Amino acid sequence: MDALDRKLLRDFARLWMQALAIALVMAGGVAVLLMSFGMSRALDETRAAYYERNRFADVFADATRAPTSLLAEIRGIEGVASAEGRVTALATLDIEGKTEATIAYLASLPESGPPQLNVPMLRSGSWPDRHDTDRVVINEPFALANDLRIGDRFHANLNGARRALTVTGTALSPEFIYTIGPGALVPDDENFGIVWMPERALAAAFDRTGAFNNLAVKIRPGFDAEPVMDAVDALLAPYGGLGAFDRADQPSNAYIDSEIEQLRTLSYILPPIFLGITVFLVSMVIGRIVTLERSEIGLLKALGYSSATVCLHYLLLAGMVAVVGVGLGWAVGSWLSFGLAQIYAEFLNFPYLIYSVSWNSYILSALLGFAAAAVGAVRAALRAAALSPAVAMSPPAPTRFHRNWLDRAIAALRFGQPTMMILRSLIRWPVRAALSALGMALAVSVLVASNFFPDSIDLIIDTAFYQSNRQHAMLTFEDEMPDSALQEVRALPGVLQAEGQQFHTAIFRNAHHEKRVVVEARPPGTDLSRIVDASGRVVDAPPGGVMLSARLARQLDIAVGDVVEAEFMSGKRGTYTLPVTGFVTQFFGLGAYMDEATLNAMFQQAPQVSVINITFDTAEEDALHASLRELPNLSGTIMMVENRRSFEETIGENILIVTTIYAMLGILITVGVAYNGARIQLSERARELASLRILGFTRGEVSYVLVGETMLLALIAQPFGWWIGWRVAKLMTDSFASDLYTIPLVIEPATYANASLIVLSAALLSVLVVRRRLDTLNLVSVMKTRE
């Protein structure tokens, strides 16, 4: 090890606090990159393996009642590898110890053997025999949430007949990774479950012996799904087919796609912020070191060290900071990535987790880290290399300043001498001051952009559960019910209000644009289920056409006054041309709304209901649930209070984890900027501060100069940080938007205030750590220092 190497190690040891502060900022960027890539890759690979091992279908379709013999024709479609039909239905369950009814999605098990597609994975117990009529397997999360064990019994309302069912096992299925019930916004394992039972028993209960109403199709590799779906639609059309759709529109898969895309988006938005700040910090620190070591650089040049060697020396110093930053980032990023991937896998009910972060991610993060350090250090390193020995060993020429209008304005304000020193420092070094303020502004922006989610979720909850869906419960039926069903429901115990709605599946087309949607129809002036736009305004669908959500209109490239082709797959099936009467901005789904009278006239039908919304007297809730269990044709009861509770709990846990992580990252940025800025300020102004002490200024007044400059920059940074945070949050909400939901951009004043409070507190603590060095300054030695 030669002398220059020993100097490199001594310099790094002497600057370890500043190096660590910079390394932590760099580690934040590396960690976020690895965390985002690691989680998205883990979810993607786990899902892919789960789909492959359990033969998840590529195309799905529902029908009213298709004969089993039709499956042979479907299997003969070009490109179809296999096809499987089954019987499915919704049913209300009566579980001992629960007051409210529970909804279950019933799916048949084939008589010929185990399922060939969407194969459930048995987790405990055994499958029922094909001849069993009262034995079932339930999905594992539902069993755990309701404390159901093998051998336990519950009752189900199967097409109006009450049937006692016995649990023989629990299972998981690739079809229900994200298990969401009708009308729900998030999974509610306590009140919605999956029940598999033998086909013979389920088909007999719902009059589908020798028939199926749900189809899954596996496509051969290399074949396109579109022609297969067209062929399936043609075959199912005479039997009430509701339109085939591929994996992209399968609810569970669509949600996971959205989550993975969000994680990838984070890796593009946040790491550049951390790496950009790293460039600034490295430039500031290495630049100051080169300034202080002019004489040493001159001596090295005089002893024969080349300019390239000197340049490399300072680049290696920055490289050592990068090594620490990348190493810390790898460790923290891997830990966070694995831990959060486990949380996601548990939330999504994966039976296992395949976790691996590709070496490409580690290599990319390392290259970005070293590149940031190199870009930050290269200017100062080249400046050191360019110094000739004679110039370097001479004192630098004093910096020349000229009085300008700012100096005259400050003088006119007659501030005290310490305040004048602070303000003049900012004026004399405007670029450095601006970059320091920008660094802390970016710290504020990270906190704003990661903490706006609770504000947005509050708006979503208020809109979805208090403004739009004001009902206590939704009653869903197996088939369309006549309008007279409202009177029957109003006569049930405790019911205060009852209003009906219709839901119909349709495919909307405009030129080459096409989208599968659910059309809601309701009479004007309904009180329980209302159309509420993003501004909180209650609107009714105008008669004579269809009102679209703004996102659906954008996807169809359609404007108000245009006409849309609507192929209805339920009700009076057929293709209709509907004028677009208006747009509404909403947060969930791709909504389409019609006036009920317009829909009834178009279908040439008497008034009907698909869903009945009710409010009830909570004192009579037990009696109401008892009556609902006996109500014919009722397929499910959706309790909106439970729905809201599940939504708040699920979202609350995720937000707490995310905001905690990003709060720590925001603090790291602040500490890195404030600490290094204060250390450099102390290094540059040591003579001035020592002079003030000698002239009789107190320690508090001298400390004010050091602390005041950093805190003034932190205060200046706040409004810029708020604006940058708003822009980053806007970019995130735009990137997160999907067919399932969109996140509104809502940032309350408290969010800005909390971000500023955290950054200002971190900046103050950082500069106070540096301020302690003032107490140990040797005034004589400092005054003898040549600079």
Per-residue b/e over 390-406, b at no fewer than 16 CB within 10 Å?
Answer: eebbeeeeeeeeeeeee
> Where do the H-state alpha helices sit in 93-197?
140-145
Residue 780 reports pLDDT greater than 90: no
User: Token pair for residue 708?
Assistant: 């005041």
Average pLDDT over residues 2-13: 82
Angle in degrees, CA 175, 181, 186, rounded to 5: 95
Q: Which of 573, 577, 547, 570 is nearest to 560 (CA)?
A: 547
What's the mean per-residue pLDDT of the chain? 83
DSSP code per residue over 196-233? EEEHHHHHHHTT-TTEEEEEEEEEPTT--HHHHHHHHH
Grade residue 654 by pLDDT with cuts at 50, 70 and 90: low
Least trusted range by pLDDT, from 32-41, 257-266, 606-615, 719-728: 257-266
CA 280: distance to chain centroid? Answer: 30
> Where do the H-state alpha helices sit in 414-548?
417-428, 430-451, 453-461, 485-490
Average pLDDT over residues 394-423: 66
User: Token pair for residue 328?
Assistant: 């810390």
Residue 402: per-residue pLDDT: 63
Tell me the sheet residues that pair with 521.
502, 594
Q: Which of 225, 206, 203, 205 is nearest to 216 (CA)?
A: 225
DSSP single-letter state for residue 588: B
Q: CB of 542 within 8 A of CB of 581? A: yes
User: Token pair for residue 195?
Assistant: 């029940």
Strands 546-549 and 538-539: unpaired
User: Token pair for residue 8?
Assistant: 């490199």
Residue 410: per-residue pLDDT: 63
Q: pTM value?
A: 0.76
CA 25: distance to chain centroid? Answer: 23
Residue 787: per-residue pLDDT: 46
Q: How large a percentage of the chain has pLDDT more than 90?
A: 21
pLDDT, tens digit, for every residue of 126-181?
A: 999 888 888 999 999 999 989 999 999 998 888 878 889 999 999 999 999 888 87
Q: CB of 473 within 8 A of CB of 638? A: yes
Q: CB of 141 within 8 A of CB of 109? A: no
Residue 589: per-residue pLDDT: 73
Q: Which residues contact 544 (CB under 8 A, 6 or more apart)?
A: 579, 581, 595, 598
Strands 153-158 and 88-94: antiparallel
pLDDT, tens digit, for every residue of 235-292?
A: 998 888 888 889 988 888 888 888 787 777 777 777 887 788 888 778 878 887 887 7
Residue owning tokens 């998205």:
40
User: Token pair for residue 251?
Assistant: 């609810």
Q: Which domains are present in the chain?
A: 1-54+252-397 (no CATH), 61-251 (no CATH), 429-471+640-787 (no CATH), 495-616 (2.40.40)
Ranges of beta strands (E only) in 58-210 are: 59-67, 80-86, 88-94, 102-109, 121-125, 135-139, 153-158, 161-172, 192-198
